[in-house]
A and B are shown apart, each in its own frame.
Chain A
Amino acid sequence: DAKTTQPPSMDCAEGRAANLPCNHSTISGNEYVYWYRQIHSQGPQYIIHGLKNNETNEMASLIITEDRKSSTLILPHATLRDTAVYYCIVNDGGSGSARQLTFGSGTQLTVLP
């Protein structure tokens, strides 16, 4: 069973920041938060991951609350190409028994022109 909760859908205006929330209240101390996205008819694409600290890369920023029970993926300037299903996943990074990623239903983000 997926250990995360995400809203099924969100809209965002092109050029604005898209903030995608995720709840993971049962996350363990050694589990990372991963974000992937899947554009229609393609394989999922890795975006970012984090353990405790906030993270930023060329694609997005990841904000993890201090208690680690929730996180937010931020796409700072959303474009039409960012329209996709976004998956939030918790996983121990393969060092433990849960080597495979468990995907939930994700959030369908639609960027509107």
Chain B
Amino acid sequence: DTGVSQDPRHKITKRGQNVTFRCDPISEHNRLYWYRQTLGQGPEFLTYFQNEAQLEKSRLLSDRFSAERPKGSFSTLEIQRTEQGDSAMYLCASSPKTGASGYGYTFGSGTRLTVV
């Protein structure tokens, strides 16, 4: 399978607990993105990596959120002290470094987080 893999697919956690999600992008893609999607809404951008460097973070990424991409391969997204408002689908996408022609992202299937 050469797609984007996310783990776990589902996570139920108690409020206040920490959770960590993993994303394995397509191996030759050097750009990696995290998005969050709540019910009935389109995905919202959280953060972006080019190789191991985190180049952009959204205002949605509060201090409780941290993302890493060591060695420019897989990425993790950690949420500390989870709140019920964090319940959402967390999507990862990757893309190659684009040129003038533009290129589409490949998304994973997402991790659905439920905070109870």
Contacts and interface: CB of A to CB of B under 8 A. Distances in A.
Contact of A46 (B31, B33, B99, B104): B104
For chain A, the bracket of interface size reads 20 to 34
A43 interface: yes
A13 interface: no
Contact of B107 (A41, A43, A104): A43
B43 A103 contact: yes
A99 to B, nearest CB: 6
A44 B42 CA distance: 10
Interface in A27-48: 32, 34, 36, 41-46
A94 B98 CA distance: 6
Nearest to B4: A43
17 contacts: A42-B109, A43-B109, A43-B110, A44-B43, A44-B105, A46-B104, A49-B104, A51-B102, A87-B42, A91-B102, A93-B101, A93-B103, A99-B48, A99-B55, A99-B56, A101-B105, A105-B41
Interface of B: 4, 31, 33, 35, 41-45, 48, 55-56, 91, 93, 95, 97-110, 112
